[in-house]
Amino acid sequence: MTTTPTALLAMGPGIAERLFTPVQRERLTALVDTDPALVAHRLTAPEPEVAAALAEAELLITCWGAPPLTADVLAAAPRLRAVVHAAGSVKHHITPACWERGVQVASAAGANALPVAEYTLAAILFAGKNVLPAAHRYRQLRAPHDWRAELDGHGNYRRCVGIVGASRIGRRVIELLRPFDLDVLLFDPYVDAGAAARLGAARTGLDELCARSRIVSVHAPELPATRHLIGAAQLAAMADGTTLINTSRGSLIDEDALLPELVAGRLNAVLDVTEPEVPAPGSPLYELPNVLLTPHVAGSLGDEIHRLADCALDEVARYVNGVPFADPVTPQDLARMA
C-alpha cells in the first residue's frame, strides 16, 4: 500500500487563502497529508511548527511569494522530493541546490499564460481600432464628429501584428489571433520559418517586425540577453501610430527611449509591466492619453487563480500516482522562461 505523501504549502501571506476554493482544499487534503491552514511564508529560521512540517515534507506546494529553496533550506527538508508551483515562473525560489538535489519541479505556467494571452488579444483588437486616442478625442470634443474620416486607415482587417517571443504566452496569442483577418509576424531566435508557419505566423527579424507591424506585442523572457530588446533603434523603426504592448517584463523595453516617443504622440502603448515595476509618481505614463497603463494584472487574478490551483492539484495527483508531471520544469527551461 502506497504511503500518502506529506506536503507543506509555502507562499506569500494571504495567497493560500485566495488560491484554493473549499472544494479544492478538500481535494488537496484527499491527495496528500497536509494542514492547509499551515502556510510557510519563510523557510529560513521558520516557526517551530513550520520547521517540523518542513522536516517531514516530501512535497512543497508553492505560489507567489514562495521563499527561496536554498541549500540550507533543503538541508532542513531531507525528505523533499518535489515542488509543485501554482503559478508561472519558478526563478524566484528554485535554486541550483534544488537541481543538485534532484528535486522534481512542476509549474502552472501554462495555466497562467491563458489570461495574459486574453488580455493581449483584447489589447491588440482595441489597438487596431485606435481606441485609446479615439476615446481621448471623444472626451475632448463631446460633440458630433466624422469618426470614420478621422479613423481612416485603422481597423482589424489585414493589419500586421508582430509577436516578439514564441513563449507559452506568445504562442497562445498567435493561436487566439487565428480567427481574425490579421497578418502575424513572429520574432524568436529559437523558432525557424517552418515552425513559425505551423504556429500561424511568418518568421522575421526583430527590426523588420518592428518596421512592418502596426501592433507589436512583447512576450520574450527576462534574460540578460533580452534587456532592452526593444530599444531606440526598434522604436524608431516603428511607423507613426504603432502600438507597443508589453505583458512580459518591463526590462525588455528601453523606457528612456520609449517615453519621448509616447510624449510626442508618435507611438501608443499598452503597458502592464514597467521598469521599475511601479513607475515614479511623476511619470508621464500615468497621464498620457495614448498609454494604457495597468498594474501588472494581465496574469491570473480573482477567480482565475483557481485555474492555477486546479493545475497544481492535477500535478500533485500525478506525483501521488507515480505519473510524470504534465508540465515539468528543468534547468534548461529556466534559460527561456520569464
Cβ distance 300 to 311 under 8 Å?
no
Residues 6+ apart with CB under 8 A from 33: 4, 5, 6, 7
C-alpha to C-alpha distance for 52 and 207, rounded to whole angstroms: 55
The catalytic position among 26, 49, 175, 277 is 277
First to last CA, the chain: 40
296 is catalytic: yes
Residue 209 CA from chain centroid, whole number: 22
Going through 139-267 in order, the beta strands assigned E by DSSP cover 159-164, 182-187, 202-203, 215-218, 243-246
Alpha-carbon torsion 323, 326, 327, 332, what sign? positive
The catalytic position among 81, 92, 101, 296 is 296
278-316 burial: b if 16+ Cβ within 10 Å, else e: ebeeebebeebebbbbeeeebbbeeeebbbbbbbbbbbb
219 is catalytic: no
The catalytic position among 85, 93, 168, 249 is 249
28-38 burial: b if 16+ Cβ within 10 Å, else e: beebbebebee
277 is catalytic: yes
Residue 38 per-residue DSSP state: -
Residues assigned a catalytic role: 249, 277, 296
